[in-house]
Amino acid sequence: MTVFNLGSINADHFYRLPHLPAPGETLAAQDYAIGLGGKGANQSVALARAGAEVRHVGAIGEDGRWMADRMTAAGVDCRHVAELPGASGHAIIEVETSGENLIIVYPGANRAISPGQALFALNTARAGDWLVMQNETSAQVEAAQAARAAGMTVVYSAAPFDAGSVRAVIDHISLLIVNEIEAAQLCADFGVTLQELPVARLVVTLGARGATWYDLAAGTQVSAPAFHVTPVDTTGAGDTFAGYLVAGLAEGLPPAEAMRLASAAAALKVTRAGTADAIPARAEVEAFLKAQPSE
């Protein structure tokens, strides 16, 4: 079983600061680093490190070849990553001492992915495969329609949040992943309660309070508490959670086990600086889980 990921690829520029700047304030950074990021690349690396077979569908500029190489080294199949004219996507990430962050993203090549490129990649998919998407690329609607028609499971991380983008694909989504703020915004846009959203399955992440799985068709839910750790950098924690969650579900884990696995992976991620490069391997996550007190 293969997981296809139509997702962004960004160069992440990290600036560590004593605190996040106020309007008009100038701060001297305490540290600087550059790494692989983008919600799509993060999730693909998380999927691969969780043990899934993942093919990334995306785009870079000529300046981004090192990012595709790094994804390949992490175990991601990048045969469907196109090199396009112009700049790659990049992000300016400011991280304060507590681990909280502020992020500015330039989409670059991520918004130049053509429907034809996405559909060509999905032509190799089979019924039972998975498609993962986030709201940082073009060609989402076309890919979601094609994937659902092919019998794939479609997972959508609705971030950066835009209600119109969710509406455009929601009829084709098998699993929607949002944080609690995005969930409230989506319910307000649709004019419904959480349980009335028109999607079969929903995961709402709650930060330090964990996450909840809702099977809206069956009317059931599963909660996964967060693990207590000392955060260093929260950047990419949600992507780590999403990638590990999908990997667990794709290998047949029930939702409760897949959520626990994903929560553990996200907990380990926030103890490390960086994004994709800081995502833990499956063996590290399983060792972390074994070390937890028995319930």
Return the amino acid letter for 159.
Answer: A
207 known ligand binder: yes
61 known ligand binder: no
Distances (CA, A) of 86 to 42, 61, 274, 289: 22, 5, 25, 43
Q: How far apart are CA 84 and CA 123, in angstroms?
A: 21
220 known ligand binder: no
136 known ligand binder: yes
174 in the Ramachandran plot: left (φ > 0), alpha (ψ -120 to 50) or beta? Answer: alpha
24 known ligand binder: no
42 known ligand binder: yes
Decide: helix, strand or coil at residue 94: strand
Strand ranges in 18-52 using DSSP code E only, listed in sequence order: 31-37
Q: In what order do the strands lie in the sheet with 130-134?
A: 77-83, 53-60, 2-6, 130-134, 153-157, 175-179, 201-205, 211-215, 220-224
252 known ligand binder: no
Q: How far apart are CA 197 and CA 179, in angstroms?
A: 15
10 known ligand binder: yes
Among candidate residues 31, 77, 129, 239, the one labeled active-site is 239
235 known ligand binder: yes
239 known ligand binder: yes
Residues 6+ apart with CB under 8 A from 241: 205, 211, 262, 263, 265, 266
40 known ligand binder: yes
274 known ligand binder: yes
Q: How far apart are CA 175 and CA 204, in angstroms?
A: 11
Number of H helices, E strands in the chain: 9, 13
189 known ligand binder: no
Give me the residues paired with residue 222 across strands: 213
Whether 239 sits among the annotated catalytic residues: the reply is yes
12 known ligand binder: yes
218 known ligand binder: no
201 in the Ramachandran plot: left (φ > 0), alpha (ψ -120 to 50) or beta? Answer: beta
Say if CB 99 and CB 123 are below 8 A apart: no
5 known ligand binder: no
110: tokens are 């991520």
179 known ligand binder: yes
Binding-site residue ranges for substrate = 10-12, 38-42, 136, 239
Catalytic residues: 239
| Residue numbers belonging to the annotated binding site | 10-12, 38-42, 136, 179, 205-210, 233, 235, 238-239, 269, 272, 274
Task: Summarize the annotated binding site for K(+) as residue ranges.
Answer: 233, 235, 269, 272, 274
